[in-house]
């Protein structure tokens, strides 16, 4: 409507003034409701053409959207294990800090598993003490076996020497018996050494492995026990938390609530039409007016233009996608931040806004060999941005009235 009024003042009004004061045609006589379309045909035609051209130029070079929001993330409150709620520590809409307990699940089974794992660790420690005693016993048996072997060896050497000096003084059977005794004592010594090696291997390899396994089992049991206590992962406000003792929670099917991280709004996400993809650039100046901040115009700057459109994404499924599903065009996602810090601090997270962006031709106008028509066109593009800025301010002025009065709220 504003564009139509502006264009009519440049086309229809001069045509009417020419008809009235130059040709002498009067309203109600020559110019009536039935003849106005013929009498002012040049002005009306030019008005329509100029209005359409002006609207096209404004909305193309100075994109606008009502889909601008202060998006925010949420954290789902989920336990890592299934269980029945034993105790709750917070209430809905309560502000919590990171690490603050939210609720606790029944932990009888996990506590029993921890106690069993601790007993297993104690058993391994006791087995280590016993093995040390067995090692000392094995050392003593080696000493004993070596002594018996030395005694038998000395006896064999003595009898062999007597037999050599005085043949027949000692029977051959006694010498053979002593030889067998030496071999027996040597076997006993080898058995004692093998027994000691077995005990030593048990101390050095088997028991440490069993102890590591028992400690790992204990840590796993303690982790399962710790998982029964659910804490806040970040600072925020707890929403939709209605757990009570006795409720069953499941990490796959039933979350416990939603945690909204506490932060100030430092930017907006806006969606512009695809036709404006070649115009939207990082660094463009823009303006927004928000429902939660009535009658305020906030200067913004474009900080990021997403180079993908969500409506074209494809995920692997068990059905072949039909291209007709992508017939509806998506929007270009743009990130905008306040030109001056702190201007969106009091905007609620999730607030809706109306956003304008403005194309700047200042750098193009500084080119040394710019032509007259190009110079005029670039100036016209920047000039019509003023119309869009005026429209945004009219929208900001009427937004509370439209919301509270005309919207029935």
Residue 320 inside a domain? The answer is: no
Kindly state whether residues 162 and 293 are assigned to the same domain. no
Cα angle for residues 101, 103, 104 (degrees, 5° grid): 105
Q: Note the pLDDT of residue 336.
A: 92
Q: 156 and 182 in contact (C-beta within 8 Å)? A: yes
Residue 139 confidence (pLDDT):
79
Q: Are residues 138 and 216 in the same domain?
A: yes
Whether residue 56 is found in the same domain as residue 125: no
Q: What is the CATH number of the domain that holds 403?
A: 2.40.30.170
- Domain around 335: 63-71+264-311+329-409
Residue 367 domain-assigned?
Answer: yes
CA 299/CA 285 separation, integer angstroms: 7
Q: What is the pLDDT of residue 166?
A: 66
Q: Are residues 28 and 52 in the same domain?
A: yes
Q: Is residue 316 part of a domain?
A: no
Three-class DSSP labels, 86-104: EEECCCCCCEECCCCEEEE
Q: What are phi and psi of 380, to 5 degrees?
A: -65, -40
Residues 238 and 177 in one domain: no
The pLDDT of residue 302 is 93
Whether residue 379 lies inside any domain: the answer is yes
Q: What does each of the 409 residues of the chain score in pLDDT, given as a tens digit?
A: 666 777 777 777 776 676 767 777 777 676 777 666 766 777 778 888 888 888 888 888 889 999 899 888 888 888 888 888 888 888 888 888 888 898 888 888 888 988 998 998 888 888 888 888 877 877 787 778 777 777 777 776 776 666 666 666 566 676 667 677 777 777 877 787 888 788 788 878 888 888 888 889 889 888 888 888 888 888 888 888 888 888 888 877 778 888 888 888 888 999 998 888 888 999 899 999 998 888 999 999 999 998 888 888 887 777 887 777 777 888 889 999 998 888 888 888 888 999 999 988 888 888 888 888 888 888 888 888 888 888 888 889 988 888 887 765 5
Residues 242 and 306 reside in one and the same domain: no
pLDDT reported for residue 265: 81
Q: Are residues 293 and 354 in the same domain?
A: yes
Per-residue model confidence (pLDDT) at position 327: 75
Q: 264 burial class (0-12, 13-18, 19+ CB within 10 angstroms)?
A: exposed
**CB proximity list for 281: less than 8 A, separation 6 or greater:** 302, 305
DSSP code, position 254: B
- DSSP for residue 18: I
Paired with 305 in beta bridges are: 334
Domain assignment present for residue 322? The answer is no
> What is 294-336 written as a DSSP string?
EEEEEEEEEEEE-SS-GGG-----SSPPPGGGG-S--EEEEEE
Which pLDDT does position 111 carry in this prediction? Answer: 87
Residue 90's contacts (CB-CB under 8 Å, 6 or more residues apart) are 96, 100, 101, 102, 103, 238, 241
**Are 294 and 217 part of one and the same domain?**
no
User: Residue 93: which CATH number?
Assistant: 2.40.50.100
Q: What is the CATH number of the domain that holds 136?
A: 1.10.287.620
In a shared domain, residues 274 and 207 = no
Closest by Cα among 310, 327, 298, 328 to 271:
310
In 25-171, where does DSSP find H-type helix?
36-39, 41-61, 108-165
Q: Answer yes or no: do 234 and 334 share one domain.
A: no
| Dihedral angle computed from the Cα positions of residues 44, 47, 48 and 51, in that order, rounded to the nearest 10 degrees | -160
Q: Going by C-beta distance under 8 Å and a sequence separation of 6 or more, which residues neighbour residue 357? A: 62, 63, 64, 272, 280, 284, 285, 286, 302, 334
Residue 408: the pLDDT is: 58
For residue 319, being part of any structural domain is answered with no
Is residue 323 in some structural domain?
no
Same domain, 143 and 179: yes
Q: Within this chain, do residues 138 and 89 fall inside the same structural domain, yes or no?
A: no
Position 405 in a domain: yes
The total domain count for the chain is 4
């Amino acid at each position: 409507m504003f564009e139509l009024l502006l264009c009519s003042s440049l086309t229809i009004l001069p045509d009417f003034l020419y008809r009235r004061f130059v040709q002498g045609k009067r309203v109600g006589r020559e110019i009536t409701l039935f003849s106005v379309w013929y009498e002012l045909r040049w002005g009306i035609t030019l008005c329509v053409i100029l209005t359409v051209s002006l609207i096209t130029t404004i909305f193309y070079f100075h994109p606008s959207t009502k889909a601008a929001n202060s998006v925010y993330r949420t954290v789902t409150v989920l336990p890592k294990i299934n269980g029945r709620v034993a105790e709750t520590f917070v209430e809905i809409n309560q502000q919590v800090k990171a690490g603050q307990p939210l609720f606790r699940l029944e932990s009888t089974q996990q506590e029993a598993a921890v106690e069993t794992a601790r007993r297993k660790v104690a058993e391994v420690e006791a087995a280590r003490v016993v093995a040390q005693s067995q090692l000392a016993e094995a050392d003593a048996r080696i000493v004993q076996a070596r002594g018996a072997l030395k005694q038998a060896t000395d006896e064999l050497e003595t009898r062999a020497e007597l037999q050599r000096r005085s043949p027949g003084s000692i029977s051959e059977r006694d010498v053979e018996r002593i030889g067998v005794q030496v071999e027996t004592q040597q076997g006993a010594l080898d058995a004692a050494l093998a027994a000691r090696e077995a005990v030593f291997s048990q101390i050095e390899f088997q028991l440490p492995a069993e102890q590591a396994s028992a400690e790992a089992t204990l840590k796993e049991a303690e982790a399962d026990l710790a998982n029964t206590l659910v804490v806040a992962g970040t600072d925020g406000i707890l929403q939709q938390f209605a757990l009570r003792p006795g409720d069953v929670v499941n990490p796959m099917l039933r979350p416990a609530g939603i945690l909204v991280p506490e932060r100030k709004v430092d930017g907006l996400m806006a969606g512009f039409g695809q036709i404006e993809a070649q115009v939207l650039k990082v660094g463009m100046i823009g303006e927004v007016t928000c429902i939660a901040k009535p009658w305020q115009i906030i200067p913004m700057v474009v900080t990021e233009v997403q180079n993908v459109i969500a409506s074209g994404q494809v995920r692997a499924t068990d059905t072949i996608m039909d291209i007709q599903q992508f017939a509806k065009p998506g929007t270009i996602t743009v990130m905008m931040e306040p030109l001056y810090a702190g201007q969106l601090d009091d905007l609620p997270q999730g607030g809706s806004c109306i956003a304008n962006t403005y194309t700047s031709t200042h750098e193009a106008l500084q080119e040394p060999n710019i032509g007259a028509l190009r110079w005029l066109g670039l100036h016209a593009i920047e000039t019509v941005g003023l119309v869009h800025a005026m429209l945004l301010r009219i929208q900001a002025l009427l937004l509370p009235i439209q919301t509270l009065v005309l919207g029935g709220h």
